C-alpha cells in the first residue's frame, strides 16, 4: 500500500480525507484547551500502555503553557530502532543513548496526534535535535508501528493541506497573523 509521509508528520497517503473529517477538525479548532488533570491522566495511561507495547520508557511532557497538546517522546538508536527498557534504567539514560527521537503530540482539542522525527545534533558544545523532513528508509517500519499504535487508539493524523489551512477567526498571539489548524490544534495561538 502506498504511504506518503509529509515532513515527518506521519501523514498517511492511504488516509482519505472526507469533508466530514475536515469539518470535524475545523470544528475542533473552536474547542477549549483541556488543561485538566483528567487529560493528563489519559495521556499518562497511553504512555504506560505504550511503554509495555514497545518495551521501552517514554518521556511524557505535560507542560501545556505554550501548547494545546502533551508530548510523548520515543528514543531511537543510530540504526533507527527504539531503545528498549533493557538498555537503560532511567529515562535520562535512554535520552543520552538516543541518536533520534520521535515526538508524538496529542491534542487536547480532539483525538488527533502529530508525528515528528528529530536527529541529535551537536550545536557548539551542546546537544540538540534537528527536525528530520523525510523519514529515513531504515525507520519507516518503526514509524509505521508507532503511528499504527496511535491510530488503533482512534487518534487521527491530520493531512498536510488541512494542517496548513488558515482559520480566519483565530490569530497567533506572538505575531498577530492568522493561525493555521496546526497552530490551533497542537500549539498555543
Per-residue pLDDT of the chain (189 residues; tens, 9 = 90+): 223 333 344 444 444 557 899 999 999 999 999 999 999 999 999 999 999 999 999 999 999 887 899 999 999 998 999 998 875 568 888 888 888 999 999 999 999 999 998 888 766 656 667 677 778 888 899 999 999 999 999 999 999 899 999 999 999 888 889 999 999 999 876
Please spell the DSSP secondary structure of the chain, one letter per residue.
Answer: ------TTS---TT-PPPHHHHHHHHHHTTSPP--SHHHHHHHHHHHHHHHHHHTS--EEE---TTBSEEEEEEEE-TTSPBPPGGG-SSHHHHHHH-SEEEEEEEESSSSEEEEEEEEEEEETTEEEEEE-SS--GGGHHHHHHHHHHHHHTT-EEPPHHHHT-EEEEEE-TTT-PEEEHHHHHHB--
Q: What's the pLDDT at 103?
A: 93
Q: Residues of 45-78 as b/e, b for ≥16 C-beta within 10 angstroms?
A: ebbeebbeebebbbbbeeebeebbbbbbbbbbee
The model's pTM is 0.84
Amino acid at each position: 500500500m502506498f504511504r506518503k509521509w509529509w515532513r515527518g508528520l506521519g501523514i498517511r497517503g492511504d488516509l482519505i480525507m472526507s469533508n466530514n473529517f475536515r469539518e470535524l477538525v475545523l470544528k475542533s479548532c473552536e474547542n477549549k484547551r483541556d488543561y485538566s488533570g483528567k487529560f493528563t491522566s489519559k495521556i499518562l495511561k497511553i504512555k504506560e500502555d505504550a511503554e509495555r507495547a514497545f518495551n521501552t520508557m517514554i518521556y511524557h511532557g505535560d507542560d501545556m503553557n505554550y501548547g494545546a497538546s502533551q508530548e510523548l517522546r520515543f528514543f531511537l538508536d543510530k540504526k533507527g530502532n527504539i531503545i528498549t527498557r533493557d538498555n537503560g534504567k532511567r529515562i535520562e539514560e535512554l535520552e543520552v543513548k538516543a541518536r533520534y527521537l520521535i515526538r508524538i503530540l496529542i491534542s487536547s482539542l480532539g483525538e488527533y496526534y502529530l508525528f515528528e522525527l528529530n536527529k541529535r545534533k551537536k550545536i557548539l558544545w551542546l546537544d540538540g535535535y534537528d527536525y528530520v523532513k523525510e523519514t529515513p528508509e531504515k525507520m519507516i517500519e518503526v514509524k509505521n508501528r508507532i503511528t499504527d499504535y496511535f491510530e488503533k487508539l482512534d487518534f487521527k493524523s491530520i493531512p498536510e493541506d488541512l494542517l496548513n489551512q488558515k482559520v480566519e477567526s483565530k490569530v497567533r498571539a506572538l505575531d498577530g497573523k492568522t493561525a493555521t489548524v496546526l497552530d490551533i490544534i497542537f500549539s498555543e495561538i
